[in-house]
Structure formats: C-alpha cells, structure tokens
Amino acid sequence: MAKKRKKKKRKVIFHLDLDAFFASVEMANNPEYKKVPLIVGGRTKKAVVSTCNYLARSFGIKAGMPIFKALELCPQATVLNANYELYEQYSDDFIKIIKKTFCRKCEQISIDECFLDVTKLIKKDMLPIKLAKIIQQTIFKKLKITVSIGISYNKFLAKMASDWHKPCGITVINKKDVEKKIWSLPINKMYFVGKATAIAMHELGIKTIGDLAKYENFKLLEAIFGSAWFDYYLNAHGFGDDFVSTNNSPPKSLSIQFTLPSQASNIQELEEWLKYLSQQLSQKTQFHGVFGHVVYVYLKCANRRMITKQISIKEPTDRYDIIYQHASFLLNEHYQRSENVRLIGIGLGKLTTKPCIRQRTIF
C-alpha cells in the first residue's frame, strides 16, 4: 500500500512592529508627553514629521507631512528633534528581550520591526494569540512601549496583519482570510510594493491586491517588473517566504537608510547623515560578524531621481572610518549640489565572514 505523504505543517510566523516608535520612546522617557499630541521631526522650515504619537494622529497628522502643516492641524502639538542614539538603544533592547525571553529565530528587518518563527513554541496551552499577548505584556513591562503583532503562516501575511490593528493590536490572517482581508486593500498597501511600483501597477489597471491576484497577462507583468512580478503575484494569493533567518546565516549585503526629517541640499548636512549612517552600518556589520568588499550609497531626490553608486574596497571591512571615507568619496563624486535629497542610504555588499588579517593589525 502506498504510503500516505505527510502534509507539511504550516509555520507560525509573527511580525512585531513597535507603535509610533520614536514618539513612544520619548513618551517612555517623559510620561508628560503621553498627555499631549507629540511630533518627532525637525524644527527647520522644511522639516517633516518623522512620526507622531496616536493622539497627534487623531488630528490628522501623518509621517512625512511638513511640520508647519501638522501645526496648522494641531497648533498645541509638541515638536521634538529626533534622538537617534536613544532610539537605537531601545531597538537593541527590544531585540535582546525577544531573543532572550522568547525566541532565537528572530530576524530584525528595521529599527522597530522583526519576524519570529514561533512554530515550536506553539502548544495546546500556548496558542499563538496567548503567546502574542505575553510578548506584548513583557515588552511593555520592560520598555514601556506598545507593540502590534501580526500572526500568519508566512512573512508577507504576518507583516500585513501587524498593520491591521494599531496600536497594540494582535491580528491573525489565515489562508481563508486572504481573499476577504487582503484582496480589497489598495495595491500601495502591499508589503514590498513601493511608490513607483504602485504607480506602474495603476497604469495596468491594478488598483487593489485582488486585481493583481486576478491579473492574467503574466508576460506584461514580467516585462514591467522583471522577476519580482512572481513574488508579488504569489504574495497576492497568500503564498510567500516563511524562512526567518537568524544570525547563523550571514546576510549577503547590509544597508541602512533614512528618510530625512527635512529635505537636504547642503553637502555638509548630507556628510553628517553619512557619518551617522556609517556608524550604524558598522555596528550592524559587527553584530553580524561580517565584512564588506563593496560600499554603496544611494540618494532619493525630491524629483524622485534615484542615485545609486558603489565602490569596491581592497580589504573587506566592518570599520566605521573606512565605510565613511568611501561613502563620502561617492557622495562628493556623484551628488549634484543643488538637488534636494529626501532619503539617504548606505550599504555594504559582497559580504564575507573572513576579515582581512591586515585590517586588524594595530600599527
């Protein structure tokens, strides 16, 4: 008799996203801020909102909005300059708590988000929602910050779910929910679909995730979006990657980017950002125990022009000064001085786990 093939069990993937992160850190440090609409951004004329607490959001204030406009909506709001070092500290603590207390299968994907593969933690007396509640309580007890949690069987759906009920929500998306919950969402709400991709989809008449799922001209999708089209299409049908990578598998490249609190067209200001990002990238690289052969810098300008430049370096590095030196060279070579920059990013590519011996030598 033919053996019955065992059905592969679906994984249980959590996506954790801290609520109003920068503003929440400020409120955790100064409870007075809980009582007021709070904006984190800059104080210059061109500054925009980096984030704001949920009280400020109730006035219609949103991330990316010019501060002056936010203050028109809510003149009594308190505006703070961002304190990035403090936010990085909270971010590190968040990940440490998760890894130490709950689950080592943790993949951090941004300053305030991570995926967890909790499949092995789920038991009869520890169902996903119960575990999610315990995680929320623990994070709040230790950091005084709330976290929203999305639960599903792959990373795409877990990420979509965490956005569903915020702040402090827990949302489960099962296979049967995909049509009901996901298909009606506008295409720009789809994880991985950036602004430019969403515009291109609109031109094809794809306005919702459901439109994409039902789209039949695959050749056209491939011609426009390259090989990425297939992932978008699979995701729209509820399929997707469920592998949560841990530190055991070193990344192929690492990068850090930031949408600037206000547009910058001043090279000194951009240099300052590069310095900050080089430090963060160096720390991230050291955390993963890897060394990069290529430094790259990318800038997104206000007119949507994307500048991406890279340079190979002789010895693979994880050092701040070397990363910054090369990034600064790229900036000075390729940045046209009058252009307004909205987003700046820096990365290390061709990563290896083996450092060059010479690099470690102390002179």
Q: Which positions touch ligand TTP (CB under 6 A)? A: 17-22, 50-51, 111-112, 166-167, 259
Provide the Cα torsion 94, 97, 103, 105; round to 10°: 40
| Vertex 25 angle, CA 22 and 29, to 5° | 145
Residues, the chain, total? 363
Q: Which stretch binds Mg ion (CB under 5 A): 13-21, 137-145, 241-249, 326-334?
A: 13-21
Of 17 and 242, the one with the shorter C-beta distance to Mg ion is 17
Q: What does R_g of the chain's alpha carbons equal in angstroms?
A: 22
Active-site residue, 272 included = no
**Contact string 82-121 vs Mg ion (x = CB under 5 A):** ------------------------------x---------
197 binds, among ligand TTP, Mg ion, none (CB under 5 to 8 A by kind): none
CB of 168 to ligand TTP, least distance (A): 10
Contacts of 20 (CB under 8 A, 6+ apart): 51, 52, 53, 54, 57, 167
111 binds, among Mg ion, ligand TTP, none (CB under 5 to 8 A by kind): ligand TTP
Of 111 and 274, the one with the shorter C-beta distance to Mg ion is 111
DSSP label of 96: H
- Antiparallel, parallel or unpaired: β 106-110 and 113-117: antiparallel
Of 12 and 18, the one with the shorter C-beta distance to Mg ion is 18
Partnered with residue 317 across adjacent β-strands are 292
| String of DSSP letters for 190-246 | STT--HHHHHHHHHTT--BHHHHHH---HHHHHHHHTTHHHHHHHHHTT--------
CB of 24 to ligand TTP, least distance (A): 7
166 binds, among ligand TTP, Mg ion, none (CB under 5 to 8 A by kind): ligand TTP
Helices 218-225 and 228-236 cross at an angle (nearest 10°) of 130
**Out of 17, 107, 117, 318, the residue judged to bind Mg ion by CB under 5 A:** 17
22 binds, among Mg ion, ligand TTP, none (CB under 5 to 8 A by kind): ligand TTP
Q: Which two tokens stand for residue 357?
A: 């011996």
Which position among 32, 72, 107, 113 bears the catalytic label? 113
Contacts of 152 (CB under 8 A, 6+ apart): 13, 15, 158, 160, 161, 172, 173, 174
CB of 53 to ligand TTP, least distance (A): 9
CB of 111 to ligand TTP, least distance (A): 5
**Out of 13, 15, 16, 21, the residue judged to bind Mg ion by CB under 5 A:** 21
Contact positions toward Mg ion, by CB under 5 A? 17-18, 21, 112
As annotated, the active-site residues are 113
